[in-house]
Amino acid sequence: MQGRRLATTDEIIAIVSPDSDEALASLTEWTEERGLGLATVAVGDDIGDVYDESRATLGVTLGGDGTFLEGVKTFSPRDIPQLGVNTGTLAFLARVEPEDLEDALDETLRGRASVDSRQQVHVEAPGVDATGINDVMVQQVPPENPIDRKVTRLDVYADDEYVGEFEGTGLAVSTPTGSTGISLSANGPVHYPVNNHTLQIVPLHTHKLGVRPIVVSPETELRIVTQEQASLLVDGGRAHTILTEGDEITATGADKLAHIVRTSYDDHFFTAITKKLGWDVRDVDVPAAKRREPLSAASKKSITADEETDTVERALTVATEAAKAAGEPLRELHGQVESIDVKTDKSDIVTEADHQADRIITTVIRNEFPNHAVFSEEGARQRGTDSDYTWVIDPLDGTGNFAHGNPNYSISVALVEDGEPVMGVVYVPETDELFSGIAGNGAWRDGDPIETTDRDQLDESMLISGYDPDGTFLSHFYQASRGVRRLGSAALNLCYLASGSADAVWEHDTYPWDIAAGLVIAREAGATLTDQTGDPYEFDFDTDDRTPLLGSNGSLHPALLEHLEDGLPARSQ
């Protein structure tokens, strides 16, 4: 999940532990001042009565790690991102202190927080079907007589491959988030938890020299078979049972990840465990570049001033993050389209997709560039001030493809300075491809430079047709070239021209939101862009007149224009 998506939060659901009254009062005041909805539930209570899946929701836990784990149990099945506020004592997971609550929330709702995807573990055993964020512990059952034998034996398999016999106190199957202390006590590894999707098997106080910790992928199916009685606990006892000889436990990575919000007010993972475990390795002067601390107001002002010295490069970063954040709900809704038979219901999904993507992008831009104008296909045509900069947005280019389950749709975000596009980002949610360009600096696909082809023979070239109402371009060029393709997204057409996947592009008519970003990317990759007569293509916000576009790799352009002369109608005035 992209942190920029959090900027569109409508409502907060808080899971509140006892003794969190002060933090709750602060949270209540903060939400009231911003007109956000706030619902509170006690630890262990269901949120079904207060959760509305149609509203963008942020989960907040007020308490220690126990409350945080209850939040994961409640929020992760619903894909709700979660921010943990530590009102307890010893907390490794909830790492925002109450005094930083409001600042952390401000950062989150400005879209400046990050979201970690944490691996969970799913376990099934006799009497247990549970999901945990920390660990599954299989241990010996304490004997009634404390001097009796305190050992259990377990056979372990990974995808039906026999790992071996674990004899000792037991073992832990843990995620990178959990069991740090247990792993350390058993000479196991410490796993950095951020976006680390693995599971680890740690033998606990083994009586066998050859047994070592093992790291596996979340897709691995782990089977643990008891040779005698054993105790099974998930996340410290949130699910618990006593197993008998021959019982089988199955553990694997859970389908649902936990989405954990991290702000600059959180301690880093290693800082947190250092302080909480008393390692004292940070009892030295650590350079500011190596630690993550909340920025002072003066520092924030200084950074903002530095960023403003290069608006276009900063805009590229913001546009990239906004487009990727908007791509998430588009992918989610796109996956629902083909399962719907009723045309009106499909139309509702497309409308919702447009709305959600547009809202995310425009909210992020307004947060970062409040003085810039915004020109969006889905919103009002012109919004903002008298700034020299205008953002041009098409949150869903290729709605026809989207409505039919076709993956050829894109998100287009451009920055226009004094009427000329100077920065463009085109993101393809289904393939996770990102095309970008800055006027005068180049064009890239996923960070790698791109350029057009150098073919100059029409009969060797692949062409792309955009809007071609009566098929004139298709019929006139199909036999003369290697083929004419129609993808259904003008922004993608220009990006494929820029990256060499096609040699030329034709659009009978264009709209500014469709092509603003693609123009920058194509030009920076070396494309020639004209109208059908060969005059340079001029970007214009005016959509009253037909505006055709012919784009090519440059060397092919003369042949295209010559072939167009007797094949296409004259441009209307």
Q: Which amino acid is at 35?
A: G
553 has binding-site annotation: no
Domains and CATH numbers, the chain: 3-112 (3.40.50.10330), 121-253 (2.60.200.30), 308-449 (3.30.540.10), 458-566 (3.40.190.80)
- Residue 382, judged by CB atoms within 10 A of its CB (0-12, 13-18, 19+), counts as exposed
248 has binding-site annotation: no
Instruction: Report how far residue 80's alpha carbon sits from residue 58's, in angstroms, rounded to the nearest whole number.
Output: 6
pTM of the model: 0.83
300 has binding-site annotation: no
- DSSP code for 531: -
Q: Are 17 and 63 in contact (CB under 8 A)?
A: yes
65 has binding-site annotation: yes
Task: For tokens 């030009």, name the residue.
Answer: 523
Query: Who contacts 541 (Cβ-Cβ below 8 Å, separation ≥6)?
Result: 375, 381, 382, 419, 512
Termini Cα distance of the chain: 47
Q: Which residues are identified as catalytic?
A: 65
Instruction: Report how far residue 486's alpha carbon sits from residue 464's, in angstroms, rounded to the nearest whole number.
Output: 6
pLDDT 10s per residue in the chain (573 long)?
A: 889 999 999 999 999 999 899 999 999 999 999 999 999 999 989 999 999 998 999 999 999 988 999 999 999 999 999 999 999 876 778 889 999 999 999 999 999 999 999 999 999 999 999 999 989 999 998 877 776 667 899 999 999 899 999 998 899 999 998 766 677 777 777 888 888 899 999 998 777 666 788 999 999 999 999 999 999 999 888 899 999 999 999 999 999 999 999 999 987 787 777 776 676 654 545 454 444 444 433 334 333 434 444 899 999 999 999 999 999 999 989 877 665 554 456 677 888 999 999 999 999 999 999 999 999 886 655 544 568 999 999 999 999 999 988 999 999 999 999 999 999 999 999 999 999 999 999 999 999 999 999 999 999 999 999 888 888 888 889 888 888 999 999 999 999 999 999 999 999 999 999 999 999 999 999 999 999 899 999 999 887 788 999 999 999 999 999 888 766 554 443
514 has binding-site annotation: yes
Instruction: Report how far residue 368's alpha carbon sits from residue 363's, in angstroms, rounded to the nearest whole number.
Output: 9
Q: DSSP labels for 27-80? A: HHHHHHHHT-EEEEEETT---TTT--TTS-EEEEEEESHHHHHHHHHHHGGGT-
Closest CA to 85 of 34, 54, 40, 117: 40
CA 6 to chain centre: 11
Closest CA to 256 of 62, 118, 163: 118
Q: DSSP labels for 164-230? A: EEEEEEEEEEE-SSS-HHHHHHTT-PPPP-TT---EEEEEEEES-TT---EEE-TT--EEEEESS-E
Strand ranges of the sheet holding 420-428, from the earlier edge strand across to the other edge: 373-376, 389-397, 410-417, 420-428, 433-438, 442-445, 448-449
H or E stretch including 85? strand 82-86
Q: Are 372 and 391 in contact (CB under 8 A)?
A: yes
Q: Are 553 and 454 in contact (CB under 8 A)?
A: yes
